[in-house]
Structures are given as C-alpha cells and as structure tokens.
Structure 1
C-alpha cells in the first residue's frame, strides 16, 4: 500500500477518535482543511461515504463503521508488534505532551522534567502550564497532572495518585488587623474568602475540628479567581482569607507575609493525580514519567 493511502487512513481514524476534524488533524500535525482533504481522497478512492458531516456533528456511515472496525484490527496488530519491541527495550521516545497546574507545575514538575529529558534524550516535551482543566483527549495531551481532581467518570481516561499535599487556611496580617482573626469554622461566614473558581469547577474548603468529622466550608466570597498564584498574591495583599497548598505559601508563612489560621482545625491532604488516556499499551514515554513522579513524591507530601 502506498504511504499516501496510509496517511489518509490515519487521518480518518484520528478524526473518528477525536470526534472532529480540528482535533483529529491536530493529533497528526494537520490543519482542519488538510484532514478534511485526506478524508475526501480516501472516500473517493474507496467509492463510498465514510462519515456523515454536519456543522456540529460527525457520525460514521454503515460503510464507515465496517471500515473503521477493520482498521481497528489492523492498528491493534501494529500496537502489539510495537509493544513486543518497546516492552523489551522500555526506551521512551517521541513527543511527551503535558498539561500541568501553573504553580505546582513550575515548582515541582519542571525539575522532574529536566531530569527526565536528561535521562531519555530521544524524548521531546511540550508543556502547558495552566489552572484551566484541559480536555486531554480533545486537545491531544499524553498526560495531565491535576490537584484534587473530582472522581473521573470519563471511561476514556485513567487516573493514578502520585502524591498528596497539605492545604492551609491563611491570611495576611493587614487583613487580620482590619477584620479580626476567626477562631472557629462558623466565624468564616463573616469573612471575605478568596475562592478558586473557573468555568468548570469551584473550590470547596474541607476542614474538620481535631478529632471530629470533615466539614465542607463555604465562606462569603467577594473575589473569585482562576489561578492559585493569583489567590496567593491577593491574600498577601490583604484582600481576604485563602485556602492554599503548602508548596505555594511556605515561604510566605516563614517570612510572616501570611499567617496560618484556625489552629484548632485540621485541613485535608489533597491528592495529586496523573490522568492519561486509557490505552492497552501505555507508551513508555508516559509510563516512565508517571513512575518518576511516584518515585520522587510517594515518600513525602508536598
């Protein structure tokens, strides 16, 4: 079979798997237009229509479904052949695409990535540092690191706890001088709380009196932000009480820029998750990076 014909088939499979020409083309390094033209050439060569297209939706025709099933069998055979070699060598290679929380990614993942790339010279990395929750499949990421991710209901994804971090209720001395220091969970109701909020999720504070059960706290919120670092800056500026990870504010606590509050309460340890697309054979580049995170972080909480 000609290489051009294989490229057309790969374009078809990628578009079907991703559910759109944009995402399917991006996964192969193609524009939407190039992916559409590749599919059109494939349909012309086969003499059948493989996809029904509307402005908002793609679906397989009957012929497309049969062709897709045969292609899956061929790709599974190729996966098996590649795995038979890859499992012996275990050598990571290719481009590792990551999406990471902005602050945690810079402070904790980037140093690991430096060591990983030094160890495996056949790997390149593309990294997005953002507190936005990316669609891993749609945007073509190999791996996401997420903090306190909700339970995963997407069967296309697999999650694994790689570490835990402690969270701390804190505020700046300037805020406490002006508004007073809360002594109980109930008193948070009359304070300005700095809440993480984005289009996809809103933060809830989980606290408990020592020896008691956990309570979900929702204080009054006049300022909501979609960045952990922005919340830290707002807290230091005296704009309210924050609920932040220790890795982000340890230096502020040590210097006195922030003060830990509610000593009679305990905060939860929050899981740090590695989330990745479910595959029968996880690529060595992904598996080795997950193993590195577990190796470096499992013995301690951040």
Structure 2
C-alpha cells in the first residue's frame, strides 16, 4: 500500500470520529481542504461514495460503514506495533509521582525505588507516603499502590502485584504472662492494639464457621502507624493484627507468635493503580513491570 493511501484512510477514519472535516483536520495537523481531498481520492479509488456531506454534518453510507469498521482495526494494529517498538527503545525518564501506603512503602517499596533510580539515571521519583486514598487524576499522581479489592472506577487501570495477609500475633513475653486466645471471642479478655485510620479504629476481621466476624476490643494503646503497633506488640504491650509484610520476619525469628490462624480472613490483593491511558509512558509501565518481577514471590514471604 502506498503511503498516501494510508493517509487517505486515516483522514477518513478521523473525519468519521470527529464528525467534520474541520475537526479531523485539527486532529491530524492538516488543512480542511487536504482532508476533503483525501476523502475524494479514496472514494474515487474505491469507486464508491463513503460519506454523505452537508454543510453541518457527515454521515456514513453503507459502503462507508463497512470500510470504517475494517480500517479502525487496521489503524489500531498499526498504533500497537508502533507503541511496541517505541516501548522497546524507550528508557524511563522524567518525574514519576506515586502515592504509597506508609508501612508497605517504607518497608518494601523504597528498596524498589532505589533499584529503579540506579538502573535509570534519567528518572526522578516523587513518593508520597500516606494511607489516605488519593485521587490520582485530580492530584496528578502517575500511580498509587493500594490494598484491597478494586473499586469501580472506569478512569483507572489496576494490576495485582502481591497479597496482604492480616496476622493476629503477640510476643512470647506477653504469652508467658497471659493465656493465648483460642477464638476471636476470647479477645475481649486481652489488650488489643488497634490501628486508627481517619479517626476511627479499624476492626480485626475473622471468619467463624464461614461467616465474616469483625472484632473491635480497644485497649489502652491505639496508633495510626502499623510500624509503631508492631514495635509495641514485640515489646509485649498486647495483641495486634498486622500485615504479613510487617511481621513475617519476627514470626520466623520467634519474636512474635501467630494467634487465631484458623480464623484468619483470606488475603487481600496489593494493587498498583494508574490512570487509563492508551499510550502509557515507559516510566510507569517499566516501574510496574520491574515491581512485579521483584515481588515474584514477595520479599516478605
């Protein structure tokens, strides 16, 4: 196919999508006259009328509808090939803005950021550590890491990169002085160290006889930092339910002991979310790909 033939097809598809030669010309960086000539040339070559034209609107003929449906797929395939080749050549550069959960970000994402900065000298990263659910598009973030099932949001894409298992635990020191709880109901007899988010206590979620059972038994200590709760639990101040990525090293070393494992809820997904863009920049795409590679399996497991 000669190049001008392809340009004529692109002018035709753009005219249909935009609804006028003028709007299509603006999208393509051409004059209205050039777009009109492309359509005439295409109709002449195919010996059919593709568009019904009035001074105010365009509408497709039956032949135009058939050509449009075929050509849209062709142009999308060409774009995909171009994107793939550009992606292979591209090196992440520019400034990547991300929002990270505080504990997961500090304990495990920072190491990944360090590796990316070392591998890609042209990349700069702005990382915000917050457990608040930011509005990516409104606040200008390129990506965020969130924990839990996806919410309905057609403007965002999501990719699961790991899982978070909540683990109820206590220190050997605490258990030497108190009997271990055997069921979630026994937690009423223990000082429970709860996480505070947005001014409210987050419940500990268990599953009893197949049914979800949220539990809140606030003790004398409540914090909005998972890392601080972890330190208090290791010190023997009470029981806590904390993410596996916070406590797994202590469970392996014996500094903490898991409790009520038979009643634990299913693990929740850890997801990267990012705005839905057809041409995703290399800095976002490669950062996510590299994170998936680094967390297969997750370093805390």
Which TM-score tier does this pair reach, normalised by the shorter chain? 0.5 to 0.7
The structure-2 alpha-carbon separation of the partners of 1:205 and 1:142, relative to structure 1 and needing over 3 Å to count, comes to same
Give 1:141 shift.
1.4
> What's the counterpart of residue 117 of structure 1?
117
Give 1:184 shift.
1.0
Gaps of 5+ in 2: 1-22, 31-78
2:196/2:222 contact within 8 Å kept: yes
The structure-2 alpha-carbon separation of the partners of 1:262 and 1:284, relative to structure 1 and needing over 3 Å to count, comes to same
TM-score by length of 2: 0.63
> What's the counterpart of residue 187 of structure 1?
186
Deviations along 1:265-293, one digit per CA (max 9) or x if unpaired, are 34422211101122222111101111112
> What's the counterpart of residue 287 of structure 2?
289
TM-score by length of 1: 0.63
> What's the counterpart of residue 108 of structure 1?
108
Deviations along 1:94-115, one digit per CA (max 9) or x if unpaired, are 1111221223223322222222
Deviations along 1:50-84, one digit per CA (max 9) or x if unpaired, are xxxxxxxxxxxxxxxxxxxx8xx85999xx8x969
Gaps of 5+ in 1: 1-69
> What's the counterpart of residue 15 of structure 2?
none
The structure-2 alpha-carbon separation of the partners of 1:286 and 1:133, relative to structure 1 and needing over 3 Å to count, comes to same
Q: Which ranges of 4 or more aligned residues in structure 1 deviate by more than 6 Å?
A: none
Q: Distance in 2 between matches of 1:214 and 1:127?
A: 38
RMSD across aligned positions (CA):
3.3
How many pairs were matched up?
226
2:168/2:261 contact within 8 Å kept: no
Q: Distance in 2 between matches of 1:185 and 1:245?
A: 18
Deviations along 1:96-140, one digit per CA (max 9) or x if unpaired, are 112212232233222222222232222111112333333323332
The structure-2 alpha-carbon separation of the partners of 1:217 and 1:262, relative to structure 1 and needing over 3 Å to count, comes to same
The structure-2 alpha-carbon separation of the partners of 1:76 and 1:144, relative to structure 1 and needing over 3 Å to count, comes to farther
Give 1:248 shift.
1.4
Out of 217, 235, 256, the residue aligned to residue 214 of structure 2 is 217
| Matching of residues 6-25 of structure 1 within 5 Å | none
> What's the counterpart of residue 10 of structure 1?
none
2:163/2:268 contact within 8 Å kept: yes
Deviations along 1:3-41, one digit per CA (max 9) or x if unpaired, are xxxxxxxxxxxxxxxxxxxxxxxxxxxxxxxxxxxxxxx
